[in-house]
């Protein structure tokens, strides 16, 4: 199979893509023309407007469909591959009990103004997600879920109080790169508050994170959308017990 690929729409290699966006203008013929002009400037030729709908006062949502000439070299795509085995809950518990001889302490939160707890709850709460139980289910993990809108100082204090081995932070709000600013603030606060040998593992997750930016953001690991509690638990064992 070739490493060079082209988008697929109606037939193989036709280069057709679908794009959606919102413009801050009311819906009329001029707005539709503006949407097609934008699509053309983005390299869609020809571009067809397939959907337009007024979204509140002075905003219009568009869907355009058209051909692009860009190719993708799959061999040059950089991703973070899972570099540790995926363990069952039984194996995680056994590894922690054998390796630490105490419970592994995990503190989780949504920091800053982020009030979206769905992600952190899916990983931490016993009910988990999609039939897979969260970290509270693991008997050798001690989980403290601080919930939403936790300040960085509050998170650092809780991590110290709970003697956290790992801190898990979920960030869904991304306006003006809030998730990046919050993560950098958090990592800097932990570096200032604790010496390296006492610093917990810092893990962040959310749908808009680039998993390759962990070093740049000062954290140990980034998880993207679709991450399961089992993946996180297995990583904790890999990083804290089997390292």
Q: Annotated catalytic residue: which of 29, 41, 90, 127?
A: 127
Please report, to the nearest 10 degrees, the dihedral formed by the alpha carbons of residues 186, 187, 188, 192 taken in order. Answer: 100
Q: Is 127 a catalytic residue?
A: yes
Instruction: Catalogue the long-range contacts made by 80-84 (C-beta closer than 8 Å, 24 or more residues apart).
Output: 80/211, 80/212, 80/214, 80/222, 82/231, 83/238, 84/234, 84/235, 84/237, 84/238, 84/239, 84/242
How far apart, in whole angstroms, are the C-alpha atoms of residue 173 and residue 135?
23
Q: Which among 238, 240, 228, 220 has a CA at the least distance from the CA of 137? A: 228
Which residues does the annotation mark as catalytic?
Answer: 127
């Amino acid at each position: 199979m070739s490493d060079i690929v082209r988008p697929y729409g109606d037939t193989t290699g036709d280069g057709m893509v679908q794009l959606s966006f919102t413009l801050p203008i009311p819906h009329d013929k001029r707005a539709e023309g503006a949407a097609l002009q934008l699509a053309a400037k983005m390299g869609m030729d020809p571009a067809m407007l397939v959907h337009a709908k007024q979204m509140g006062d002075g905003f219009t949502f568009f869907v355009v469909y058209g051909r692009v000439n860009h190719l993708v070299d799959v061999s040059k795509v950089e991703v973070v591959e899972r570099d540790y085995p995926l363990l069952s809950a039984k194996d995680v518990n056994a590894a922690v009990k054998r390796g630490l001889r105490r419970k592994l302490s995990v503190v989780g939160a949504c920091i800053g103004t982020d009030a979206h707890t769905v992600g952190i709850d899916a990983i931490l709460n016993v009910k988990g997600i999609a039939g897979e139980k969260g970290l509270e289910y693991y008997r050798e993990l001690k989980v403290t879920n601080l919930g939403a809108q936790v300040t960085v100082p509050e998170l650092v204090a809780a991590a110290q109080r709970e003697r956290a081995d790992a801190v898990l932070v979920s960030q869904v709000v991304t306006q003006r790169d809030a998730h990046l600013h919050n993560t950098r603030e958090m990592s800097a606060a932990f570096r200032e508050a604790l010496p390296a040998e006492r610093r917990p593992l810092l893990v962040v997750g959310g749908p808009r994170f680039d998993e390759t930016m962990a070093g740049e953001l000062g954290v140990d690991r980034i998880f993207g959308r679709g991450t399961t509690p089992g993946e996180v638990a297995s990583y904790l064992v890999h990083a804290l017990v089997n390292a």
